[in-house]
Structure 1
């Protein structure tokens, strides 16, 4: 029997439940045949709470549509990683944290790519149990370590990661759950073991998304689970630039981050006191 997941770790089950729900849609943006198993019994319960808060009966929705956001995010990062893998120079992809991600199993990858999944031991053990006999479609390496550990880079290198050649990093569903100092520490440490030309992608909310009164319904759900949102920034380009990455930030609904699914207006970047989320992607200088 695997060790129970803690509050933050359980959010990976929510993501899996969202991906399972998207897979059942006739107009789905992607297909994840492993998501339902990975979500288990808990994932749908978490999704039901988010759904109730987001789409209250008899009232207009004021919160961002988590199902549409997650669908867009998953498809966008699917495409991003697949495009990166087409580059002959791409030989290693790192998911940190990996959560219940199944891209190594549901998508095809070039034989030259080594795939690293970094996450806490309890998460990877749960995931392995849920996947059963499923086989990854790539040279797959699990790195069972917490990203706040003092030496997770050593574990990653021991698994075969080479810091002297460019890598592609995905930090998905991470940065809003950790305090600002930890965000800087993680980006600093990723940069330190990323050769020039390495790619990075992530998602992050803005500061107002943490404080606006009409966001309370969603924020209270996560806080009630014991995993509140802790960090956001209105200048993601500057955040990543401080750590040696030149990035572009795109909002859901903008070109390349819509897929016909984002239901809300896209606020201009100079408009203040509005909730927003960014998809960030770029390269190490």
Structure 2
């Protein structure tokens, strides 16, 4: 049976876009990482989605005014690659959860320590498509897929039924998730994840600020995602406070700052005190 993500569910479009961006990054001579599986995961819709993003990001008739999505995605991927590798090795965590998993291939393209169990959580259609596209590929880790929608009331039960132990240290990655869901749902997600984490467990996520949802110069990019049916819905100017309220002690770094640049961020990085500017945050820390 052939599994197709076309026409793609709105959320699944972002997964195919990410695969297309990672495939394009892998073809660059100055690439920040190599994802040899991304090209297989792009699907039929990926090139079209990437072309729409490129047209919005680099308009032919005027200078770029919105963040460079290819550079941002490359930095985000490399930042989380490095962070996850450090986290599982420094703490000896035996569990890593990627939710949602999308077209991510870190379970295949990165080296992981012995004894780690790697959980991917996403919708059944996404995981079925991914399995078909990666047929024959062998994970480098004990790899477990959990086919459940993160909006389901029992996804935690499905995760534990698959072997996850909420009492053992874990590392969680919420990549490309929080700005696509309304604020109450984003807060509820953090609360639910916190309830699954033993003290000392690590978390990582990306998040935009509130102004990124409303600034006029962001409109070309926002319109693309809204047109796909997956508008950006939530942003926070105080990511540290947001995560603290749900049991995590974190720090937030912006692309272009130390440790989140890799020589690729093309824009100035305004101080946090500056108002009415777009921002993206990479948030990472621990469960109290």
The size of the alignment, in residue pairs, is 285
* Residue ranges of structure 1 left out of the alignment (5+ in a row): none
1:68-83 equivalent positions in 2, closer than 5 A: 68-83=71-86
What residue in structure 2 maps to residue 54 of structure 1? 57
Q: TM-score, normalised by structure 2?
A: 0.98
- Aligned residue number for residue 254 of structure 2: 251
Match of 1:186?
Answer: 189
1:168-207 mapped onto 2 (5 Å cutoff): 168-207=171-210
Partner Cα distance (1:95, 1:245) in 2: 17
Name the TM-score, length of structure 1 as normaliser: 0.99
Residue 160 (structure 2) pairs with residue 167 (structure 1): no
State the secondary structure of the residue aligned to 2:281.
Answer: strand
Q: Secondary structure at the residue paired with 1:87?
A: helix
For 1:117, what is the secondary structure of its paired residue?
strand
> Where does structure 1 differ by over 6 angstroms across 4 or more consecutive aligned residues?
none
- Cα-Cα RMSD: 0.8
Cα deviation, 1:23-79, whole Å, max 9, x if unaligned, reads: 000000000000011012211110100000110113100010000000000000000
**Hey, what does 1:10 align to over in structure 2?**
13
SS in 1 for 2:217: helix
Distance 2:245 2:138 in 1: 39
Following superposition, the deviation at residue 3 of structure 1 comes to: 5.5
Query: What is aligned with 1:44?
Result: 47
1:108 to 87, 107, 111: 111
SS in 1 for 2:96: strand
Which of 269, 280, 287 aligns to 1:284? It is 287
Give 2:265's aligned residue. 262
Match of 1:156? 159
SS at match of 1:37: helix
CA distance in 1, matches of 2:181, 2:111: 32
